[in-house]
Amino acid sequence: MNKGRILLFALVALLAASCVKDPTAEPQSQGVQSVSKKIINTAENADPSKLILYVDEETADLWANMESVTRSGNESLDALAVEFGAKFVKPIFNMAINGDQKREMNMHRWFLVCFDSETDVEVAAEKFAAMKEINRVEFATMLQRPKVTAVPVHEMPATRADNQMPYDDPMLELQWHYDNQGLTSIYETAKKGEDINAFAAWKYATGNRQVVVAVMDEGIKYTHEDLKDNMWVNEKELNGQAGVDDDKNGVIDDIHGVNCVDEAATTGRLTGNISWDQGVWKTDQYGNKYYDGDVGHGTHVAGTVAAVNNNGIGVAGVAGGSGNGDGVRLMSIQIFDGEGNSSYATNAAGVEYAADNGACILQSSWGYPLKEGVKMSDSDYENMGGGVELAAIRYFVKQSGCSAMSGNVAIFAAGNETKDTADYPGAYNEFIAVTAYAPDGLPTTYTNYKQGCNVSAPGGDWWEFRADVSVKGCVLSTIPAETIDPSTGSLYNADYGYMQGTSMACPHVSGVAALVLSYAVENGITLTNTQLYDILTSSVREIDSQLSGTKKTGYISSLTLDKYKGNMGTGKLDALMAIQSVRGTRCVPAIVGKELTLDPAKLIGNGEGFNVKGYGEYKISEDTKKRLGIDRIDTFGGKIYFTPKNAGIGMITITYIAGGNAVGGGGTTGGKLMEKEVVIVVRDTDDNGGWM
């Protein structure tokens, strides 16, 4: 087992400290704020040629219309621009689209200044911060590349019987994260049912073209055989002229999304050139060669959200459709390109692009960890800089990219530093941060937990006991074959591969969010983004009862579980429950081997016993009976009784009489006969502390 492959699947950037309140707040007292307090972060890990400035209203208007970088109309600022060799000053946000709302959110006041390479930006920052027109100065902190590698696998024929599988994608049976059969061939301690319950959910929703998920990551390989049909397409650019911004959205030739790195590094401009296989070989200080470049992270994440389902090839995606051109669409917001990374400034522009071009979910498997030893508090986060990025994400959340939802949602990976705090920005209470569990339903060794973490999803785990099969406990998805595998130095040369990380857990939640919205679109239901957040964090199976003692994670290593108790978020996201929540269907917990009583009076309203009577009739599918191991069902006094023998989730429709004591003669008068769908969630143990 190559140790180098195992760790560091997070995007890492060191943080810097100083002190200012709300990232976009006005200075508390005009003119007397000290220079140091206006400089939010440090130049560590920042783009050395740029500064991000938040300016006052007057300067914002001057700079928006400046003739040249040294002729803005403000002589003292112009003098500074000359002194430090500023090449350009440009607004970070595109005020030509939705400008009124952006102005209301003060987005017109953020500017990017680019300097000559000889300029000392730290000195420049001091000078700019000393100007009364400048309210904030941020160094353009760069995201750090994901230090990860995929383990490539070639497509292999299916072995599970067709009738056990919802779709014909041959590798779907290896995607335990959708439907975990508890196979030890996949993971030594794998447990049946530790998955997002996708198969059951797909009976209700599989995807919808109206839902656009922006994947903010490496570029998506949009030509991938198992992704290309679910790519978002900007038709005007597709059918337009090369080199021309045909749809006038500010980006030239943006057919499948934008690149926030490449040209942005020199001009601050986004381009439409998405790539996924750029990189260079470098030599470290000890003379060792290493690869610095794309590793397939973005293509892998995209496949989990929406690889094309039921197309007879490869894998399936959570919201990849049913094989009828009905998957959700993937927009590529490229923040890594070869050895290059995006910074706060270009990230912000990328998020704005997603908002202005119809995305409703921001899938963000990246983040900035807090400095070691720093405990999370509001002020700590504000010390990081990133105010411009936060402004963009807040703007994204306020837009509505999907007709079925007012507002959008942003979902982040919690991070992989095994720390008790989610990475920024997912740690903010206004965004979801996703922790990762292994095929045994227990926390992974790498996942962050506790503060700021909201919900858990499968992130996968290496297994070191049996190296030959260990990788199967990771998440299987699409990868670009022509990208270099950093661990071998040769090309992946395969279209599918395994990766692990909260980066892999996050797209499961984005995928379920996309499924819920697809269901809403198709059933004429409208939600608010707050409701969707609520659905994603409350449609969960509990995890805490499993979290005591230790878990073996290798020959000699083990993981202490108690510290994760209460700290993995609300629980493990269940796609079926999430869709049922939109439908308003009640979920009832049950225990393997224990008799369950379904009393209609307790399933209506708040369950306190309403004036309804059971009618003793029910509908249940043979599939559900078989799956939950229900051999017989008894009815007595209008109640329904049965004992499930297997863990799992199933649906039963019960009949009850509302408003009256009995159905009249022949069933045509008296109380109204009603049907109610109930989801039965059967677990293995009864010490589960009440997941409802």
Among residue numbers 627 through 666, which ones bind Ca ion (CB under 5 A)?
A: none
The residue among 423, 437, 456, 451 whose CA lies nearest residue 144 is 423
Give 96 or 244: the residue with its C-beta nearer to Ca ion: 244
Q: Is 423 in the site for Ca ion (CB under 5 A)?
A: no
Give 138 or 253: the residue with its C-beta nearer to Ca ion: 253
For residue 335, report the phi and psi dihedrals to the nearest 5 degrees. Answer: -115, 0
Smallest gap from residue 378 Cβ to Ca ion (A): 13
Smallest gap from residue 637 Cβ to Ca ion (A): 46
Smallest gap from residue 409 Cβ to Ca ion (A): 12
Listed ranges 19-27, 68-76, 230-238, 645-653: which one lies at the site for Ca ion (CB under 5 A): 230-238
Q: Is 240 in the site for Ca ion (CB under 5 A)?
A: yes
Q: Is 263 in the site for Ca ion (CB under 5 A)?
A: no
Listed ranges 75-83, 150-158, 229-237, 398-406: which one lies at the site for Ca ion (CB under 5 A): 229-237
> Per-residue DSSP letters for 159-172?
-S-GGG-SS--TTG
With 0-12 / 13-18 / 19 or more C-beta atoms within 10 angstroms meaning exposed / middle / buried, residue 606 is exposed
Give 103 or 228: the residue with its C-beta nearer to Ca ion: 228
Give 189 or 299: the residue with its C-beta nearer to Ca ion: 299
Q: How far is C-alpha 549 from the geometric centre of its chain's CA atoms?
A: 30
For residue 640, report the phi and psi dihedrals to the nearest 5 degrees. Answer: -120, 135
Smallest gap from residue 581 Cβ to Ca ion (A): 20
CA dihedral of residues 564, 568, 574, 577 (deg, nearest 10): 110
Choosing from 96, 244, 467, 692, the residue that interacts with Ca ion (CB under 5 A) is 244
Instruction: Report the relative pairing of strands 612-620 and 648-663 from DSSP bridges.
Output: antiparallel
CA dihedral of residues 524, 528, 533, 535 (deg, nearest 10): -40
Choosing from 78, 226, 495, 544, the residue that interacts with Ca ion (CB under 5 A) is 226
Question: How far is residue 611's CA from residue 563's CA, in Å, rounded to a whole number?
Answer: 45
Give 381 or 656: the residue with its C-beta nearer to Ca ion: 381
Residue type, 52: I
Smallest gap from residue 252 Cβ to Ca ion (A): 6
Question: How far is residue 436's CA from residue 442's CA, in Å, rounded to a whole number?
Answer: 9
Choosing from 246, 352, 461, 542, the residue that interacts with Ca ion (CB under 5 A) is 246
Listed ranges 111-119, 238-246, 325-333, 547-555: which one lies at the site for Ca ion (CB under 5 A): 238-246
Distances (CA, A) of 369 to 115, 338, 382, 411, 416: 28, 22, 13, 16, 9
Choosing from 296, 340, 452, 497, the residue that interacts with Ca ion (CB under 5 A) is 452
For residue 674, report the phi and psi dihedrals to the nearest 5 degrees. Answer: -125, 160
Choosing from 247, 482, 617, 684, the residue that interacts with Ca ion (CB under 5 A) is 247
Give 308 or 649: the residue with its C-beta nearer to Ca ion: 308
Give 133 or 247: the residue with its C-beta nearer to Ca ion: 247
Residue type, 341: N
The pattern of x and - marking residues 271 through 310 that bind Ca ion according to CB under 5 A reads -------------------------------------x--
What is residue 397's DSSP assignment? H
Give 279 or 314: the residue with its C-beta nearer to Ca ion: 314
The pattern of x and - marking residues 156 through 195 that bind Ca ion according to CB under 5 A reads -------------x--------------------------
Q: How far is C-alpha 291 from the geometric centre of its chain's CA atoms?
A: 27
Q: Is 364 in the site for Ca ion (CB under 5 A)?
A: no
Listed ranges 20-28, 354-362, 401-409, 452-460: which one lies at the site for Ca ion (CB under 5 A): 452-460
Q: Is 78 in the site for Ca ion (CB under 5 A)?
A: no
Q: Is 433 in the site for Ca ion (CB under 5 A)?
A: yes
Smallest gap from residue 96 Cβ to Ca ion (A): 12
Among residue numbers 43 through 72, which ones bind Ca ion (CB under 5 A)?
A: none
Q: Is 311 in the site for Ca ion (CB under 5 A)?
A: yes
Give 169 or 356: the residue with its C-beta nearer to Ca ion: 169
Give 318 or 433: the residue with its C-beta nearer to Ca ion: 433
Question: How far is residue 461's CA from residue 498's CA, in Å, rounded to a whole number?
Answer: 10
For the chain, the straight-line distance linking the first and the last C-alpha, in angstroms and rounded, comes to 41
Instruction: Report the relative pairing of strands 596-598 and 639-642 from DSSP bridges.
Output: antiparallel
Sorted by sequence, the CB contacts under 8 Å of residue 86 that are 6+ apart come out as 69, 70, 80, 113, 114, 115
Partners of 71 in the beta sheet?
A: 68
The residue among 141, 44, 40, 128 whose CA lies nearest residue 84 is 128
Q: Is 382 in the site for Ca ion (CB under 5 A)?
A: no
Q: Is 314 in the site for Ca ion (CB under 5 A)?
A: yes
Q: Estimate the crossing angle of helix 575-583 against helix 529-538, to 10 degrees.
A: 130
Question: How far is residue 111's CA from residue 348's CA, in Å, rounded to a whole number?
Answer: 11
The residue among 344, 339, 203, 229 whose CA lies nearest residue 278 is 339
Say how many residues touch Ca ion, by CB under 5 A: 18
Q: Is 245 in the site for Ca ion (CB under 5 A)?
A: yes
Q: Is 254 in the site for Ca ion (CB under 5 A)?
A: yes
Smallest gap from residue 255 Cβ to Ca ion (A): 8
Smallest gap from residue 313 Cβ to Ca ion (A): 5
Binding site for Ca ion (CB under 5 A): 169, 226, 237, 240, 244-247, 249, 251, 253-254, 308, 311, 314, 433, 452, 454
